[in-house]
Amino acid sequence: MSGPKVVAIGGGHGTAVTLRAASRYTERITAIVSVADDGGSSGRLRELLDVVALGDMRKCLVALTDEQSPLAVAFARRFEEGELAGHALGNLILAGLVGATGDLVLAIDEAARLLGAVGRVLPATTEPVVLKADASEGQIEGQVAVSRAGRIHSISLVPGDAGPPRRATEAVLEADQVVIGPGSLYTSVIAAACVPELARAIAASEAQRVFVCNLRPQIPETQGYDVGRHLSALEAHGIGVDQVLCDTSVGMALGEVGLPVTDTRLTDPTGRVHDPGRLAEALAGLLG
């Protein structure tokens, strides 16, 4: 495989975009993904099977796969009727692989092999965790509930000693570039990166550590936030970065950052989401 070693940390749609971008300038990619989701198909499978949230890992696996392949399309397909309504086929396959192998990481690796994914997807923790927030309205538990709260002061995971697979921390320490974000600041990005062993690995890593900020505040989770306030939230949770990559042309003020900032056009033609091609050009440019 060729290219720099790139690690993407976060969850869901945001990290999936980062992975599509990274795959344009390297084949050596590792995604480290939050498993704290408790809504939708992931939440139902967690309750039924006592597994970690699988949906964000499914999205990241598909992002590292040829999007036109029938299996990738099938992984993303959601059933619309009956007892399976709302479940994505990929979530069910991952749950079946976890049951068959008895090992979460092995199950994800097997799914990646089936899909022909370029790179590796790893969970931020190997056991189910509950996201807990300290907000102005008090203590809130559960990712869905936290995402609906405003004025969040801090988040944490329960149990607090939940750890990542060994290969996740190794990937961070061996990386040339660690990309944190974009995505829901508290419920995806920090929920993954604040795992204590991962936060320590990010701090110790000699990689270029890049925070990719969202295009606009997420209501209500980060209502009123600018880029600088996003960065302050990371720092408050012990997550250090060296570079900030943002696009303030569509609704996010810059604020006070205090780090090298690349403010450039990153949106797709709709102006609503990050464009993988533009994000790839910016991230590769930071590596020089």
Closest CA to 154 of 136, 127, 128: 136
Task: List, for residues 233-286, the tens digit of each pLDDT value.
Answer: 999 999 999 999 999 999 899 999 999 999 999 999 888 899 999 999 999 999
Inform me whether the pLDDT recorded for 44 exceeds 80. Answer: no
Residue 46 has what pLDDT? Answer: 64
pLDDT at 51: 76
pLDDT tens sequence across 15-27 = 999 999 999 999 9
Residue ranges covered by each domain of the chain: 5-287
Name the one residue in this structure whose structure tokens are 């995402």: 147
Distances (CA, A) of 117 to 74, 110, 209: 14, 10, 24
Tens digit of each residue's pLDDT (9 = 90 or more) over 48-65: 667 788 889 999 999 999
* pLDDT tens for each residue of 218-243: 999 999 999 999 999 999 999 999 99
Q: Assess contact for 115 and 72: CB atoms under 8 A.
A: yes
How far apart CA 72 and CA 53 sit, in angstroms, is 19
Residues 194, 174: Cα–Cα separation, whole Å: 19
Flag whether pLDDT at 1 surpasses 70.
Answer: no
Other C-beta atoms lying within 10 Å of the C-beta of residue 284: 18
pLDDT-wise least confident of 37-41, 74-78, 115-119: 37-41
Contact in structure between 26 and 5 (CB atoms under 8 Å): yes
Compute the distance between CA of residue 255 and CA of residue 228 in angstroms, rounded to an integer.
Answer: 5
Strands (DSSP E) contained in the chain are 5-10, 28-33, 120-123, 130-135, 138-141, 152-158, 177-180, 208-212, 243-246, 261-263
Domain 5-287, CATH homologous superfamily name and number: CofD-like domains (3.40.50.10680)
pLDDT tens profile 128-161: 899 999 988 899 988 888 988 878 999 999 999 9
Residue 88's φ and ψ, nearest 5 degrees, are -85, 140
The pTM score is 0.94
Rounded Cα–Cα distance for residues 168 and 197 (Å):
9
Q: How far apart are CA 104 and CA 87, in angstroms?
A: 19
Rounded Cα gap, residues 108 and 64, in angstroms: 13
Tally Cβ neighbours within 10 Å of residue 66. 14
